[in-house]
């Protein structure tokens, strides 16, 4: 793992530019849009436009309030608009299909019991904001911090072991419930792999293309990422499990909790059709990514939380499914996260928030963990 800058405390939020849209311009655009909207429940007054306090490094989330006048029974509402970042903001992903996300959330909400924010409006043509967006109700609650990570500070670190255990089981239940949905009923056409192409092979092919777009097309070749792709081919599962709808970005940082119970599942931009191990591997690895940072700084973190053995055991208890080839999927999760983090670092360099690393493998913050995974020496529990 690459050490952060010496003057950067691990408990402080690090500046990361996601969008260059101005708050006044967004306020005006939202006001004009809602005023003209035929389904608006009254005359709107938009206020409190802002970005979220933490989390979210790809799509742009905009929080705002609306007071409605002239509408009986409707006084005010709190909302979140999700939109694609502008091209000049060096987006994390090459494509932001907000209409597909809206449709997928609608199908998941109709097909299973996981908690989701209520969808309000879908604007696939971009309208006044200049990019496709959709609006949903804001859900009150708490989200485990990404920046700084929840292993260093915050309500989850301060919770009791029993409270964290309750949150852990309830979070694994999200995956179990989602994966129990009939895939054909939930999956939108854009997520289906090409005919005759296995879902896992299609997913890995997409990640190769993503790596080229994110880095290699700019002449940045990261050897550890390319070695990881080669490792996948050498350790390819002999019999991948059946396809399910995968959340994609399955992690507790994408869940709103109230009293350690999930009340809203967020961020579906990485959703895919794939074996369920794709989600479980990502879920486990994303916590270990933060826990490894804590150990790098010599602090305890949360070593007994979201342990690999506990998560795998809980998932099997909830579903009856014996997970397969988890070493493969955990290494794949580390590889996928390596590409994303390298792209985020490229964006930070663009905005003057970071420097080009002397060693190109240091684009991958967790390179030490990834190297151990490739060597088979990484210790999970």
Q: Report d(CA 37, CA 32) in Å as an integer.
A: 9
Q: Report d(CA 294, CA 86) in Å as an integer.
A: 33
Q: Which of 146, 243, 249, 354 is catalytic?
A: 249
DSSP 8-state class, residue 142: B
In this structure, are residues 79 and 136 in contact, taking their beta carbons and an 8 Å threshold?
yes
- Sheet containing strand 43-50, edge to edge, reads 43-50, 60-69, 76-83, 133-137, 119-123
Q: Which of 194, 228, 196 is nearest to 331 (CA)?
A: 228
> CB within 8 A of 212, min separation 6: which ones?
none
Q: Which helix (H) or strand (E) holds 134?
A: strand 133-137
Q: Report d(CA 374, CA 65) in Å as an integer.
A: 48
H-assigned helices in 18-97 = 23-36
Residue 160 vs residues 10, 155, 156, 304: alpha-carbon distances, Å: 22, 10, 8, 12
Q: Report d(CA 25, CA 40) in Å as an integer.
A: 21
Q: Report d(CA 1, CA 293) in Å as an integer.
A: 8
Residue 88's DSSP bridge partners are none
> CB within 8 A of 216, min separation 6: which ones?
none
Residue 325 catalytic? no
Secondary structure of residue 345 in the 3-state scheme:
helix
DSSP 8-state class, residue 363: G
Burial class of residue 120, CB neighbours in 10 A (0-12, 13-18, 19+): middle
Q: State the catalytic residues.
A: 249
């Amino acid at each position: 793992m690459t050490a952060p800058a010496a003057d950067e405390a691990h408990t402080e939020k690090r500046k990361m530019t996601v969008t260059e849209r101005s708050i006044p311009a967004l306020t005006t655009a939202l006001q004009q849009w809602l005023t003209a909207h035929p389904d608006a429940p009254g005359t709107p007054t938009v206020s409190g436009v802002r970005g979220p306090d933490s989390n979210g490094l790809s799509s742009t989330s905009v929080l705002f309030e609306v007071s409605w006048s002239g509408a009986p029974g409707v006084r005010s509402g709190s909302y979140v608009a999700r939109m694609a970042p502008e091209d000049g903001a060096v987006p994390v992903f090459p494509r932001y299909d907000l209409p597909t996300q809206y449709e997928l959330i609608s199908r998941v909400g109709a097909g299973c019991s996981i908690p989701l924010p209520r969808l309000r409006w879908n604007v696939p043509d971009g309208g006044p904001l200049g990019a496709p967006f959709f609006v949903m109700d804001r859900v009150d609650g708490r989200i485990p911090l990404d920046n700084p990570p929840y292993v260093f500070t915050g309500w989850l670190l301060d919770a009791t072991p029993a409270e964290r255990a309750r949150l852990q089981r309830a979070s694994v239940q999200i995956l179990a419930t989602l994966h129990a949905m009939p895939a054909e009923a939930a999956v939108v056409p854009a997520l289906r792999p090409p005919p005759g192409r296995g879902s896992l092979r299609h997913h890995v092919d997409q990640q190769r293309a993503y790596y080229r777009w994110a880095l290699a097309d700019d002449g940045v070749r990261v050897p550890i990422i390319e070695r990881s792709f080669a490792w996948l081919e050498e350790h390819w599962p002999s019999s991948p499990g059946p396809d399910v709808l995968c959340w994609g970005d399955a992690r507790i940082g994408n869940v709103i909790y109230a009293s350690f119970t999930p009340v809203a599942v967020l961020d579906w931009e990485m959703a895919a059709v794939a074996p369920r191990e794709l989600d479980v591997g990502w879920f486990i690895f994303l916590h270990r990514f933060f826990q490894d940072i804590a150990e790098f700084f010599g602090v305890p973190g949360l070593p007994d939380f979201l342990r690999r053995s506990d998560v795998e055991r809980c998932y099997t208890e909830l579903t009856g499914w014996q997970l397969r080839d988890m070493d493969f999927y955990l290494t794949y999760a580390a590889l996928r996260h390596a590409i994303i983090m390298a792209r985020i670092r490229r964006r930070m360099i663009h905005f003057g928030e970071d420097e080009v690393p002397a060693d190109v493998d240091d684009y991958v913050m967790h390179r030490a963990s990834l190297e151990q995974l490739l060597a088979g020496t990484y210790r999970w529990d």
